[in-house]
Amino acid sequence: MKIGIASDHRGYDLKQKLISYLKKKKYDVEDFGTTSKSSVDYPNFGFRLGEAVADETIDYGIAICGSGIGISIACNKVNGVRCAKVDTPEEAVATRKDNDANILALNGNMSTFKAKDIVDAFFRTNFSNLERHQRRIDEIKNYEENRDREV
């Protein structure tokens, strides 16, 4: 499995620790930046990661910024991305099972121990393939063509 990982300056330390952790677990990891703690704009890194997931250059992504929220918004601007900002292993399991999330967004200030637990839960969980969940994903995917229909 090929994992992409990106962060802004506030997520840099956690990103570096997760890269080492993932490589020890034998994942193929591609770093989409940033390369230091110097201040940068998270959208640029979220877009790069999102595009790599969308074009299937990588299988899944991890996005990290100060809160995890901003970079998740940036990732979700890329068509085909389902990025979820997650704070617990239980949320990681739920977003994989129900939403088939393909990018995990984390708060750069969380402990490495907690982040590892969340990452492990995310990557060991598969999409449920339940019809109701697939239908909802398809609704999101096809929003533009369906936005004027009645609910």
* pLDDT of the residue at 53: 98
For the segment 63-89, the average pLDDT, to the nearest whole number, is 97
pLDDT band at residue 9, thresholds of 50, 70 and 90? Answer: very high
Would you say residue 52 lies in a domain?
yes
Would you say residue 104 lies in a domain?
yes
CB burial of residue 59 (10 Å; 0-12, 13-18, 19+): middle
Would you say residue 151 lies in a domain?
no
Whether 148 shows a pLDDT value over 90: the answer reads no
Would you say residue 47 lies in a domain?
yes
- For residue 135, report the phi and psi dihedrals to the nearest 5 degrees: -60, -45
Q: What percent of the chain has pLDDT over 90?
A: 85
Domain that holds residue 37: 2-146
Domain count of the fold of the chain: 1
Domain of 101: which CATH number? Answer: 3.40.1400.10
Instruction: Kindly report, residue by residue over 12-52, the tens digit of the pLDDT.
Output: 999 999 999 999 999 999 999 999 999 999 999 999 999 99
